[in-house]
Structure 1
Amino acid sequence: MVFEPDRLPVPAPVIMIVEPYGGSIRQQNPNLPMVFWDDAALTRGDGIFETLLIREGRICNLERHGARFKASAALLGLPEPILADWEKATHMALEAWFSHPHAGEASCTWTLSRGRASTGLASGWLVVQPISAEKIRQREQGVSVMTSSRGYTVEDYLPGIDVATGEAKGKIPKNPAPWMTVGAKTLAYAANMAALRYANANGFDDVIFTDGERVLEGATSTVVSFKGDKLRTPTPGGDILPGTTQAALFEYASAKGWRCKARELSLDHLYGADSVWLVSSVRIATRVTKLDGQKLPKPNNEKEIRALINKALG
C-alpha cells in the first residue's frame, strides 16, 4: 500500500472559550454553536485576531503575537487582553490537540470580539486546527503572484501609525478621521479574501498589493526580498501591517550578519532581487516563483534562506 500522509485521520479542531475579563477558560465542542447571533464578530466584523504557528509542540513567536494582540485591542478600544489567560488557554488546547495520535504542526488563532450587542461585553476564543495541505504545498513549491492596487488608500497620518511604527509619517491635518485606525490586525479581511479569490480565478496563487510602483504587502503576508547579504521589506505603517514573522526573521538574521532594512520598495526592486518571499505565521515562507507572469530566479542559497527563516521562528 502506498503511504498517503494526507489521508491520515486528523484531530478535530480544539476550541477554548477565553473570558476576556478574566475567569473561566473552558473547552468547547467543535460540533456545537458557540457565538451568539448578535456578536459583533459576526454582525460587524468588529474584533481582532492573531494566528500563531504550533511547531514541534511549541508556540512560535509568542511574545510578538501577544504584543500585537494588545496593541490591536488598544487601537480598537477593546478590553486589554489578559495575555496570561490567552497563553494558558493555548497550552490547554495544545494538551488536548496532542492527545490525538496523528496530531502534528498546527495553527492557533486567537479571536477577541467586541461581543454581544445585548450585553455590551466582549467575547473571546481560540482555535487550534491542522494546517491545510495547500499551505504546506505553497511552502514547498512556491507561489505565482499577481500585483494589484488595493482598491483604496490608507492615509499614513491616521491614529495607530505611532503604535505600528513608532512615529506618524505625514503632517496631521486638523480632522484626521480619528475613528480610522491602522496597525491593528482586525477581523475585517473580506477585501483581502476577495483579492485572493480573484487571483485564484485568474490562475495565480496570491496577491501583492501595490500603490503605483510602490510595493505594499501580500494579502495575508509580508514581502521580503533577498539580494546578496541584504534583506529588505517595505516599511510598515499606513497601508502596511507590521509582520511578526518578518520581525523575527530580521532580528535573527541581523544577529547572523545579514544586512536587514525596512525601506520603500518598488516593483523593479523585486524583479532585480535574487529571490522574493512572502512570510507569514503559518505558511512561514513561500518563494514567489512568478510575478505577474514573469518567472523569478531560484536562488542558489534557497536551502540556506529556508533554514534561516525556520531558525528565526525557533
Structure 2
Amino acid sequence: MGTATDSTVDRPDTRRVVVLVAGGPEGRRPRVHPADQPLLLADDLAAVRGDGCFETLLVVGGKVAKPERHLARLRRSSAALELEGPSDDEWLAGITLAAREWGAAAEGMLRLVLSRGPERGGGVTAYITVAPVGPQARRARAEGIGVTVLSRGFASDFGESAPWMLLGSKTLSYAANMAALRYATARGFDDVVYLSSDGEVLEGPRSTVVILRDGELISPPGEVGILEGTTLGAMAEVAEREGITVRRERLLVADLLVADAVWLVSSVTLAARVRRIDEVTLPTAEPSIDVATLVDRAVGRA
C-alpha cells in the first residue's frame, strides 16, 4: 500500500475535517468542514478541560482499519464519561465520508473526537479529522525504537479502586502522556513503557506492549489499569487462525529484558520492535513470529 511522502506530511492543506455535531443544532448528518477554518467554540470542554474521548484509526488504501473495534471502545469510553454521542451508524457515515475525502493514495490517521461540548451548554461536539501518517511512525515501523521505562505513579490495582480515574478509557486528557514522550525524547529515546508503582508493566502512552517468549505472544491484562488495544485484539484473531497463541499475563521489566523480542503495537505506528530498553540492548535475531506481518494483515496492509 502507498504511504505518505515527507513532502505530503509537511503540507497542512492535506488535512480533512468532517463534522457530526459541533456545538449547534444542525443535526448529525456528516459534512465536510474546511480544515483551515475554526470549528470549536472557545469554551468547548475538549479544549478547556480535556473532557471527552477519542479514537485514532488507520486509513490504508482508502479503507479504514477495524472501525468496529474502535467504535466499541469509543462506546466504553463515552459510557465511562457519561457522554451520549452519535450512534455507531452516524459515526460510520462520518468515517466513510472522511475516508472518501482522504482518498487511497496515502496512509491517513483518522481521529474520532467526542467532547462534552461548550461550557455554556448546547450538547456534545463530535467531529472527525484525517491527517497524514508522519515520518516518525513510518521510521519506527521500519527501524524499531528505543524506549525508557517510567513510573505511572499508581499501583496495578488502582483502576479497580478508583474507577473515576478512567484508566481504561481513551480520554482527551493526554497532557501527561505527551509530557512523558517529551521527557523520553529529550533523553534520546523514541517512546515510553509505563510501570505501575508495584513494578508491573502497563503500556506505552499510545501503544500496547507485546513480548515473544517460548513461541507465544504475551501482553499485560486489562485489569492492571490499561487501555484495551484494538490492534492487539485484531492481531490476536489473525494469530489464532495460524495456530499462534496470544495470551495476557502480568509482566515485569525483567520479562521484557529476557524476552525473545518486544514490540509496541498501535493503530497508526502498527508494530514497532523495541531495540533498546533504557541502557540495555535487546536481542537482534529475527523472531520466530513475524508480529509486523500479523499486524499488517490485521489492519489490511498485507
* 2-structure distance, mates of 1:228, 1:182: 30
* 1-structure distance, mates of 2:251, 2:156: 17
Corresponding residue SS for 1:215: coil
Instruction: Look up the equivalent residue of 1:6 and give its one-letter code.
Output: D
Query: Who is 1:91 aligned against?
Result: 96
1:249 CA displacement = 1.1
Corresponding residue SS for 1:242: coil
Q: Are the aligned partners of 1:146 and 1:208 in contact in 2 as well (CA < 8 Å)?
A: yes
**Uncovered stretches (5+) of structure 1, i.e. residues with no partner:** 159-175
1:207 CA displacement = 0.6
Q: Are the aligned partners of 1:72 and 1:184 in contact in 2 as well (CA < 8 Å)?
A: yes
* 2-structure distance, mates of 1:126, 1:262: 32
Query: Who is 1:139 aligned against?
Result: 141
Corresponding residue SS for 2:118: coil
291-300 vs 39-48, which deviates more? Answer: 291-300
- Does 2:295 match 1:290? no
With over 3 angstroms needed to count, the CA separation of the structure-2 counterparts of 1:16 and 1:302, relative to structure 1, is farther
Corresponding residue SS for 1:126: strand
Number of corresponding residues:
291
- What is the correspondence of 1:1-314 to structure 2 with a 5 Å cutoff? 5-8=5-8, 12-19=14-21, 23-98=28-103, 103-153=105-155, 155-156=157-158, 158=160, 179-211=164-196, 212-301=198-287, 304-314=290-300
TM-score of the pair, normalised by structure 2: 0.90
Instruction: Look up the equivalent residue of 2:185 and give its one-letter code.
Output: N
Instruction: Look up the equivalent residue of 1:133 and give its one-letter code.
Output: P
1:121 CA displacement = 0.8
* 1-structure distance, mates of 2:201, 2:107: 31
With over 3 angstroms needed to count, the CA separation of the structure-2 counterparts of 1:54 and 1:178, relative to structure 1, is closer
With over 3 angstroms needed to count, the CA separation of the structure-2 counterparts of 1:5 and 1:37, relative to structure 1, is closer
Identity of aligned residues (%): 38
With over 3 angstroms needed to count, the CA separation of the structure-2 counterparts of 1:83 and 1:144, relative to structure 1, is same
CA-based RMSD: 2.2
With over 3 angstroms needed to count, the CA separation of the structure-2 counterparts of 1:302 and 1:60, relative to structure 1, is farther
**Uncovered stretches (5+) of structure 2, i.e. residues with no partner:** none
* 2-structure distance, mates of 1:5, 1:222: 26
143-152 vs 40-49, which deviates more? Answer: 143-152
1:24 CA displacement = 2.6
* 2-structure distance, mates of 1:89, 1:54: 13
1:239 CA displacement = 2.4
